[in-house]
């Protein structure tokens, strides 16, 4: 079966696109899928760092497109997962080095050899974003539960609809259940109410995400992390499994949970 | 000049180029335009291009393809001008301008109240999302929500069968009897003719409301009841 090409985008910067790509890729590959991630953020590459593959880069995506190397030479194999590959972005060029049809050609060569192609889109709605969504079969829109991020996600979903890429599926990242409870943060329901699209994952705020990114070991490797679990669930949903959403409300200790179960609040 | 090129007229504007096409088949014209661009790439590169497509009916794919092909040649397509409402709608949904010079808000005052001759309306059966700007010379009916960051500018009435949270401007050319209705009214801003109102206080229990200009010349919301 040819690969599913999935682009992860957001509009606003800093909401966790690259982290989401790295973690979903790790989760998919841990379950035995053949995965290649492409860093579409040319000029500001990050995905290699988060995957811990920075020091292995020899060739990058612009080298492939401009014919300085073969596609296979630019693909870096992950340290732990033999079925996970990265095609890094060029750091010394800009978005205009690549066009949407370059991306389509590149992806066409990958489709038959992989189960999933994940594309990390840059922030914004300009050239880099257009490049990243051009080959996509499916688009995941990452947002945070805050008004500015949701407004930008709305704009991106509007563009996806206009370009007939489907409305996209939503990942709500960095939700803090305690803040939501005190009405200091938008809830997942508030976000969905406005955006009215399919939800594919809610990722709780978790400091292990930052620690993992800095170590080059995405949190999806960590069986105890709740954010890691949320990303693993997204990966399962991408493979067509039905997985219930995490109950993010059990922030209290064992006794509190027991009391809640007993209905004593 | 060979035959294909005579289909295309290119004019310089203050802020870019205006390419006018005629009613020959779209495919022929598209190819002709790209051919022309390729032969004079140095001239076109980096240009802002507005396209007048006369009465061609174009769909999303047509415009997206052309925009991407132009963008690969370093040309930025920013506007599509058309006599066809379908094409105009497509262009607006893609975020392209549909007029070369934007009318300034003051201009609205100069127009006398105009009879909307044929009472045409545009029906939008979708959520109007942030960044979308819909402009129409008749009434606008939305079956869906209008989200914050979206704009609808209509010369007639605006009816939203859903939640209105963006900016809408009814009677944009000065029709002070235009109205705005929505099932739930919590807009960023409302305008009717040249009256502007900042966000109305959101209702505790949202109800269908209708906004019109009252006797004192201010915008006023009331229950939107049948009849």
Can you read off the two tokens belonging to residue B82?
């058309």
Written as one string, the DSSP assignment of B115-158 is --TT--EEEE-S-B-TT-EEEESSEEEEES-B-TT-EEEESS-E
> pLDDT per residue over A36-55, tens digit each?
999 999 999 999 999 999 99
Domain shared by B117 and B86, yes or no: no
The partner residue sitting opposite A163, judged by closest CB among B60, B129, B147, is B60
Domain boundary among B93, B124, B152: B93
d(C-alpha A228, C-alpha A26), whole Å: 10
- Residue B190 in this model has a pLDDT that exceeds 90: yes
Q: Which domain holds residue B170?
A: 107-223
Task: Determine contact, residues B128/B152, Cβ cutoff 8 Å.
Answer: yes
Mean pLDDT is lowest, of B10-14, B47-51, B156-160, for B10-14
Task: Determine contact, residues B138/B121, Cβ cutoff 8 Å.
Answer: yes
Domain shared by B115 and B213, yes or no: yes
Domain shared by B117 and B60, yes or no: no
Nearest to A203 by CA among A228, A178, A221, A185: A228
Domain shared by B44 and B120, yes or no: no
CATH of the domain at A253: 3.40.50.300
Q: How many domains would you assign to chain B?
A: 2
Report the relative pairing of strands B180-185 and B151-154 from DSSP bridges: unpaired
Domain shared by B30 and B127, yes or no: no
Domain shared by B129 and B216, yes or no: yes
Neighbour-count burial of B50, counting CB atoms closer than 10 A to its CB (0-12 exposed, 13-18 middle, 19+ buried): buried
Domain shared by B162 and B189, yes or no: yes
Q: Examine residue B46 and state whether it is found in any structural domain, yes or no.
A: yes
Contact B68 A159 (CB under 8 A): no
> pLDDT per residue over A62-100, tens digit each?
999 999 999 999 999 999 999 999 999 999 988 889 999
- Residue A257 in this model has a pLDDT that exceeds 70: no
Contact A196 B127 (CB under 8 A): yes
pLDDT at A255: 55
Q: Which residue of B has its CA nearest to A151?
A: B130
pLDDT at B224: 87
Q: Where are the alpha helices (DSSP H) in chain B?
A: 26-39, 41-44, 60-72, 85-93, 107-110
For an interface test with A, which of B92, B131, B151 has the most A Cβ atoms less than 10 Å from its Cβ? B131
Domain shared by B141 and B166, yes or no: yes
Alpha-carbon distances, residue B204 vs A61, A183, A219, B138, B201 (angstroms) = 53, 17, 42, 32, 9
Domain shared by B144 and B212, yes or no: yes
CB atoms within 10 A of CB A38: 28
Task: Kindly report the nearest CA distance between residue B183 and chain A, in angstroms.
Answer: 15
Q: How many domains would you assign to chain A?
A: 1
Q: Is B72 part of the contact surface with chain A (CB cutoff 8 Å)?
A: yes
Nearest to A40 by CA among A111, A110, A116, A93: A93
Q: Which domain holds residue A203?
A: 4-261
CATH of the domain at B43: 3.30.750.50
> pLDDT per residue over A104-145, tens digit each?
999 999 999 999 999 999 999 999 999 999 999 999 999 999
Domain shared by B64 and B133, yes or no: no
Contact B131 A159 (CB under 8 A): yes
Phi-psi region at A90: left, alpha or beta (left = phi > 0; alpha = psi -120 to 50): beta
Can you read off the two tokens belonging to residue A255?
């006794």
Domain shared by B74 and B20, yes or no: yes
Q: Examine residue B43 and state whether it is found in any structural domain, yes or no.
A: yes
Tell me the pLDDT of chain B averaged across its residues: 83
Domain shared by B38 and B9, yes or no: yes
């Amino acid at each position: 079966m040819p690969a599913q090409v999935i682009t992860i985008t957001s509009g606003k910067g800093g909401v966790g696109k690259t982290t989401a790509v790295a973690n979903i890729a790790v989760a998919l590959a841990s379950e035995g899928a053949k995965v290649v991630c492409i860093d579409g953020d040319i000029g500001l590459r990050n995905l290699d760092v988060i995957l811990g593959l920075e020091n292995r880069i020899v060739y990058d995506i612009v080298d492939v497109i401009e014919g300085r190397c073969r596609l296979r030479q630019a693909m870096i194999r992950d340290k732990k997962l033999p079925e996970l590959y990265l095609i890094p972005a060029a750091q010394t060029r800009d978005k205009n080095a690549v066009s949407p049809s370059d991306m389509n050609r590149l992806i066409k060569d990958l489709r038959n050899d992989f189960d999933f192609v994940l594309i990390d889109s840059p922030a914004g709605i300009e050239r880099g974003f257009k490049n990243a969504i051009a080959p996509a079969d499916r688009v995941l829109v990452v947002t945070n539960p805050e008004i500015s991020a949701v407004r930008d996600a709305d704009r991106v979903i509007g563009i996806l609809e206009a370009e007939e890429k489907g409305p996209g599926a939503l990942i709500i990242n960095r939700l803090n259940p305690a803040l939501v409870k005190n009405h200091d943060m938008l809830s997942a329901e508030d976000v969905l109410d406005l955006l009215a699209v399919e939800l594919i994952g809610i990722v709780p705020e978790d400091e292990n995400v930052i620690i993992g990114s800095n170590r080059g070991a995405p949190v999806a490797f960590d069986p105890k992390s709740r954010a890691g679990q949320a990303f693993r669930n997204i990966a399962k949903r991408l493979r067509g499994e039905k997985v219930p959403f995490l109950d993010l409300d059990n922030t209290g200790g064992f006794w509190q949970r027991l009391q809640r179960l007993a209905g004593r609040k | 000049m060979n035959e294909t090129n005579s289909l295309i007229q290119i004019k310089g504007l203050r802020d870019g180029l205006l390419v006018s096409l005629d009613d020959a088949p779209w495919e022929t014209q598209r190819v002709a335009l790209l051919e022309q661009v390729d032969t004079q790439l140095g001239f076109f590169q980096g240009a802002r291009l507005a396209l007048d497509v006369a009465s061609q009916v174009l769909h999303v794919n047509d415009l997206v393809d052309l925009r991407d092909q132009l963008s690969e040649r370093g040309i930025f397509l920013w506007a599509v001008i058309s006599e066809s409402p379908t094409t105009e709608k497509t262009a607006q949904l893609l975020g392209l301008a549909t007029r070369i010079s934007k009318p300034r808000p003051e201009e609205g005052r100069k127009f006398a109240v105009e009879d909307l001759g044929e009472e045409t309306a545009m029906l939008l059966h979708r959520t109007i999302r942030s960044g979308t700007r819909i402009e129409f010379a008749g009434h606008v009916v939305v079956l869906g929500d209008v989200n914050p960051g979206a704009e609808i500018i209509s010369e007639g009435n605006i009816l939203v069968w859903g939640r209105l949270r963006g900016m809408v401007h009814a009677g944009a050319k000065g029709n002070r009897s235009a109205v705005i209705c929505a099932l739930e009214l919590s807009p960023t801003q409302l305008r009717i003719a040249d009256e502007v109102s900042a966000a109305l206080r959101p209702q505790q229990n949202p109800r269908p409301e209708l906004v019109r200009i009252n006797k004192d010349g201010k915008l006023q919301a009331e229950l939107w009841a049948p009849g």
